[in-house]
Structure 1
Protein backbone atom coordinates (compact mmCIF):
# COMPACT_ATOMS: atom_id res chain seq x y z
CA UNK A 1 0.00 0.00 0.00
CA UNK A 2 2.90 2.38 0.75
CA UNK A 3 4.16 1.98 -2.82
CA UNK A 4 0.74 2.08 -4.46
CA UNK A 5 -0.42 5.41 -3.04
CA UNK A 6 2.47 7.53 -4.48
CA UNK A 7 1.96 5.80 -7.84
CA UNK A 8 -1.76 6.60 -7.83
CA UNK A 9 -1.06 10.20 -6.79
CA UNK A 10 1.49 10.56 -9.59
CA UNK A 11 -0.97 9.21 -12.17
CA UNK A 12 -3.74 11.46 -10.81
CA UNK A 13 -1.46 14.49 -11.01
CA UNK A 14 -0.44 13.65 -14.58
CA UNK A 15 -4.10 13.27 -15.53
CA UNK A 16 -4.94 16.60 -13.86
CA UNK A 17 -2.15 18.34 -15.79
CA UNK A 18 -3.43 16.71 -18.99
CA UNK A 19 -6.94 18.04 -18.33
CA UNK A 20 -5.61 21.53 -17.54
CA UNK A 21 -3.55 21.61 -20.72
CA UNK A 22 -6.28 20.30 -23.01
CA UNK A 23 -9.21 22.06 -21.27
CA UNK A 24 -11.43 19.13 -22.22
CA UNK A 25 -13.20 16.88 -19.72
CA UNK A 26 -14.88 14.57 -22.22
CA UNK A 27 -14.75 10.83 -21.60
CA UNK A 28 -12.49 10.25 -24.61
CA UNK A 29 -10.03 12.94 -23.53
CA UNK A 30 -9.93 11.55 -19.98
CA UNK A 31 -9.25 8.08 -21.38
CA UNK A 32 -6.46 9.42 -23.60
CA UNK A 33 -5.01 11.33 -20.63
CA UNK A 34 -5.11 8.22 -18.46
CA UNK A 35 -3.31 6.17 -21.13
CA UNK A 36 -0.66 8.90 -21.51
CA UNK A 37 -0.26 9.10 -17.71
CA UNK A 38 0.27 5.34 -17.51
CA UNK A 39 2.67 5.18 -20.47
CA UNK A 40 4.93 8.06 -19.43
CA UNK A 41 8.08 6.71 -17.82
CA UNK A 42 8.48 7.17 -14.11
CA UNK A 43 11.79 8.23 -12.63
CA UNK A 44 13.46 5.66 -10.46
CA UNK A 45 14.62 7.34 -7.28
CA UNK A 46 14.51 6.74 -3.61
CA UNK A 47 11.01 6.27 -2.17
CA UNK A 48 8.93 9.43 -2.11
CA UNK A 49 8.12 10.79 1.32
CA UNK A 50 4.33 10.94 1.23
CA UNK A 51 4.07 14.15 3.25
CA UNK A 52 6.47 16.01 0.93
CA UNK A 53 4.68 14.66 -2.15
CA UNK A 54 1.25 15.74 -0.89
CA UNK A 55 2.57 19.18 0.06
CA UNK A 56 4.17 19.64 -3.38
CA UNK A 57 1.00 18.46 -5.13
CA UNK A 58 -1.13 20.83 -3.07
CA UNK A 59 1.15 23.78 -3.80
CA UNK A 60 1.12 22.93 -7.52
CA UNK A 61 -2.67 22.74 -7.63
CA UNK A 62 -3.02 26.01 -5.71
CA UNK A 63 -0.69 27.63 -8.24
CA UNK A 64 -3.38 27.48 -10.95
CA UNK A 65 -5.85 29.97 -9.37
CA UNK A 66 -2.92 32.06 -8.13
CA UNK A 67 -1.61 32.26 -11.71
CA UNK A 68 -4.98 33.55 -12.92
CA UNK A 69 -5.05 36.18 -10.16
CA UNK A 70 -1.52 37.32 -10.99
CA UNK A 71 -2.36 37.50 -14.69
CA UNK A 72 -5.37 39.67 -13.88
CA UNK A 73 -3.25 41.93 -11.66
CA UNK A 74 -0.68 42.29 -14.43
CA UNK A 75 -3.40 43.21 -16.96
CA UNK A 76 -5.02 45.91 -14.84
CA UNK A 77 -1.88 47.16 -13.12
CA UNK A 78 0.74 49.58 -14.32
CA UNK A 79 3.95 48.69 -16.08
CA UNK A 80 5.45 45.52 -14.61
CA UNK A 81 8.62 45.73 -12.55
CA UNK A 82 11.44 43.23 -13.06
CA UNK A 83 12.66 41.38 -10.00
CA UNK A 84 15.09 38.59 -9.31
CA UNK A 85 13.97 36.63 -6.28
CA UNK A 86 14.94 33.37 -4.63
CA UNK A 87 12.86 30.65 -3.06
CA UNK A 88 13.79 27.60 -1.01
CA UNK A 89 13.73 24.25 -2.78
CA UNK A 90 12.09 21.10 -1.54
CA UNK A 91 14.09 17.87 -1.54
CA UNK A 92 16.35 18.33 -4.57
CA UNK A 93 17.30 14.66 -4.76
CA UNK A 94 13.82 13.54 -5.85
CA UNK A 95 13.16 14.43 -9.50
CA UNK A 96 9.36 14.53 -9.11
CA UNK A 97 9.54 17.10 -6.32
CA UNK A 98 11.96 19.23 -8.34
CA UNK A 99 9.60 19.03 -11.33
CA UNK A 100 6.60 20.05 -9.19
CA UNK A 101 8.54 23.02 -7.80
CA UNK A 102 9.63 24.24 -11.21
CA UNK A 103 6.15 23.61 -12.67
CA UNK A 104 4.53 25.65 -9.91
CA UNK A 105 6.95 28.54 -10.33
CA UNK A 106 6.84 28.69 -14.13
CA UNK A 107 3.05 28.38 -14.22
CA UNK A 108 2.88 31.89 -12.81
CA UNK A 109 2.76 34.48 -15.63
CA UNK A 110 6.09 36.13 -16.41
CA UNK A 111 8.04 33.96 -13.96
CA UNK A 112 10.81 31.52 -14.79
CA UNK A 113 13.41 29.57 -12.85
CA UNK A 114 16.91 30.70 -13.83
CA UNK A 115 18.85 28.15 -11.83
CA UNK A 116 19.95 27.07 -8.39
CA UNK A 117 21.97 29.01 -5.85
CA UNK A 118 23.26 28.53 -2.32
CA UNK A 119 24.55 25.05 -3.04
CA UNK A 120 21.29 23.88 -4.63
CA UNK A 121 19.08 24.91 -1.70
CA UNK A 122 17.35 27.88 -3.38
CA UNK A 123 15.86 28.58 -6.81
CA UNK A 124 16.90 31.80 -8.52
CA UNK A 125 13.75 33.19 -10.16
CA UNK A 126 13.21 36.00 -12.67
CA UNK A 127 9.77 37.57 -12.25
CA UNK A 128 7.76 40.48 -13.55
CA UNK A 129 5.59 41.91 -10.80
CA UNK A 130 2.78 44.45 -11.15
CA UNK A 131 4.09 48.00 -10.75
CA UNK A 132 2.91 50.36 -8.05
CA UNK A 133 0.82 53.43 -8.77
CA UNK A 134 2.96 56.43 -7.80
CA UNK A 135 1.83 59.35 -9.89
CA UNK A 136 1.79 57.27 -13.07
CA UNK A 137 5.38 56.06 -12.67
CA UNK A 138 6.74 52.76 -11.50
CA UNK A 139 9.42 52.70 -8.81
Structure 2
Protein backbone atom coordinates (compact mmCIF):
# COMPACT_ATOMS: atom_id res chain seq x y z
CA UNK A 1 0.00 0.00 0.00
CA UNK A 2 1.36 3.41 -0.91
CA UNK A 3 1.38 6.58 1.14
CA UNK A 4 -1.33 8.43 -0.85
CA UNK A 5 -3.73 5.48 -0.44
CA UNK A 6 -3.20 5.38 3.33
CA UNK A 7 -3.56 9.16 3.64
CA UNK A 8 -6.74 9.29 1.52
CA UNK A 9 -8.22 6.32 3.40
CA UNK A 10 -7.50 7.92 6.80
CA UNK A 11 -9.06 11.20 5.67
CA UNK A 12 -12.11 9.31 4.34
CA UNK A 13 -12.62 7.44 7.60
CA UNK A 14 -12.18 10.56 9.73
CA UNK A 15 -14.54 12.66 7.62
CA UNK A 16 -17.31 10.07 7.42
CA UNK A 17 -16.98 8.92 11.08
CA UNK A 18 -18.50 5.59 10.07
CA UNK A 19 -16.20 2.69 10.87
CA UNK A 20 -18.32 -0.08 9.36
CA UNK A 21 -16.93 -2.67 6.94
CA UNK A 22 -19.00 -1.31 4.06
CA UNK A 23 -17.82 2.25 4.56
CA UNK A 24 -14.25 0.98 4.93
CA UNK A 25 -14.52 -0.82 1.58
CA UNK A 26 -15.97 2.23 -0.11
CA UNK A 27 -13.26 4.36 1.46
CA UNK A 28 -10.54 2.00 0.25
CA UNK A 29 -11.88 2.08 -3.31
CA UNK A 30 -12.14 5.89 -3.17
CA UNK A 31 -8.61 6.13 -1.74
CA UNK A 32 -7.18 4.01 -4.55
CA UNK A 33 -9.00 6.08 -7.18
CA UNK A 34 -7.88 9.37 -5.65
CA UNK A 35 -4.28 8.19 -5.36
CA UNK A 36 -4.23 7.39 -9.08
CA UNK A 37 -5.00 11.04 -9.86
CA UNK A 38 -2.08 12.48 -7.88
CA UNK A 39 0.90 13.68 -9.91
CA UNK A 40 3.32 13.33 -6.96
CA UNK A 41 3.82 10.01 -5.20
CA UNK A 42 5.11 9.52 -1.69
CA UNK A 43 5.91 6.33 0.12
CA UNK A 44 4.36 4.77 3.18
CA UNK A 45 7.64 5.38 5.01
CA UNK A 46 7.36 9.12 4.32
CA UNK A 47 3.77 9.07 5.57
CA UNK A 48 4.78 7.24 8.75
CA UNK A 49 7.52 9.83 9.35
CA UNK A 50 4.84 12.54 9.10
CA UNK A 51 2.70 10.69 11.66
CA UNK A 52 5.76 10.44 13.93
CA UNK A 53 6.39 14.20 13.61
CA UNK A 54 2.76 14.90 14.45
CA UNK A 55 3.03 12.74 17.57
CA UNK A 56 6.24 14.52 18.58
CA UNK A 57 4.66 17.97 18.12
CA UNK A 58 1.31 17.09 19.71
CA UNK A 59 2.28 18.06 23.31
CA UNK A 60 3.55 21.42 22.07
CA UNK A 61 0.36 22.01 20.06
CA UNK A 62 -1.85 21.15 23.06
CA UNK A 63 0.18 23.38 25.38
CA UNK A 64 0.03 26.29 22.93
CA UNK A 65 -3.73 25.79 22.54
CA UNK A 66 -4.29 26.05 26.30
CA UNK A 67 -2.01 29.09 26.53
CA UNK A 68 -3.89 30.76 23.70
CA UNK A 69 -7.23 30.22 25.43
CA UNK A 70 -6.12 31.06 28.99
CA UNK A 71 -3.78 33.98 28.26
CA UNK A 72 -4.51 35.97 25.11
CA UNK A 73 -1.62 36.99 22.91
CA UNK A 74 -0.35 40.54 22.87
CA UNK A 75 1.94 40.63 19.88
CA UNK A 76 1.53 39.58 16.27
CA UNK A 77 4.19 39.65 13.61
CA UNK A 78 4.88 38.39 10.14
CA UNK A 79 8.11 36.66 9.34
CA UNK A 80 9.56 35.16 6.19
CA UNK A 81 11.27 31.81 6.44
CA UNK A 82 13.07 29.76 3.84
CA UNK A 83 12.02 26.13 3.41
CA UNK A 84 14.73 23.57 4.14
CA UNK A 85 14.03 21.55 0.97
CA UNK A 86 12.10 23.79 -1.46
CA UNK A 87 12.57 21.45 -4.43
CA UNK A 88 10.95 18.42 -2.76
CA UNK A 89 7.14 18.81 -2.66
CA UNK A 90 6.71 16.27 0.15
CA UNK A 91 9.36 17.86 2.38
CA UNK A 92 7.82 21.30 1.78
CA UNK A 93 4.36 19.93 2.66
CA UNK A 94 5.65 18.34 5.88
CA UNK A 95 7.43 21.52 6.96
CA UNK A 96 4.41 23.74 6.24
CA UNK A 97 2.07 21.25 7.95
CA UNK A 98 4.15 21.08 11.13
CA UNK A 99 4.43 24.90 11.28
CA UNK A 100 0.66 25.27 10.89
CA UNK A 101 -0.07 22.39 13.31
CA UNK A 102 1.08 24.49 16.27
CA UNK A 103 -1.37 27.29 17.11
CA UNK A 104 1.17 30.09 17.66
CA UNK A 105 2.35 30.02 14.06
CA UNK A 106 0.53 29.81 10.75
CA UNK A 107 1.80 29.73 7.18
CA UNK A 108 -0.18 32.39 5.34
CA UNK A 109 1.68 32.24 2.05
CA UNK A 110 3.99 29.72 0.42
CA UNK A 111 5.88 31.20 -2.49
CA UNK A 112 7.28 29.30 -5.44
CA UNK A 113 10.85 30.38 -4.76
CA UNK A 114 11.03 28.31 -1.56
CA UNK A 115 10.01 30.90 1.01
CA UNK A 116 7.03 31.01 3.35
CA UNK A 117 5.37 33.91 5.10
CA UNK A 118 4.40 33.09 8.69
CA UNK A 119 1.95 34.75 11.03
CA UNK A 120 3.33 34.36 14.56
CA UNK A 121 1.70 35.37 17.82
CA UNK A 122 3.27 35.66 21.27
CA UNK A 123 2.45 36.92 24.74
CA UNK A 124 5.46 39.25 24.84
CA UNK A 125 5.09 42.90 24.04
CA UNK A 126 2.89 45.81 25.11
CA UNK A 127 -0.51 45.02 26.62
CA distance in 2, matches of 1:60, 1:67: 9
1:83 deviates by 2.8
Residue of structure 2 equivalent to 1:3 = none
CA contact (8 A) 1:111 1:126 kept: yes
Q: Of the candidates 12, 17, 22, which is equivalent to residue 24 of structure 1?
A: 17
CA distance in 2, matches of 1:106, 1:44: 22
CA distance in 2, matches of 1:18, 1:64: 22
Secondary structure at the aligned position of 1:78 is classed as coil
RMSD in angstroms over aligned alpha carbons?
3.7
Please list every run of 5 or more consecutive structure 1 residues that lacks an aligned counterpart in the other structure.
Answer: 1-6
Write 1 or 2 for the structure with the bigger share of helix. Answer: 2
Normalising by structure 2, we get a TM-score of 0.61
CA distance in 2, matches of 1:93, 1:14: 24
CA contact (8 A) 1:43 1:95 kept: no
Q: Of the candidates 104, 112, 124, which is equivalent to residue 117 of structure 2?
A: 124
Normalising by structure 1, we get a TM-score of 0.57
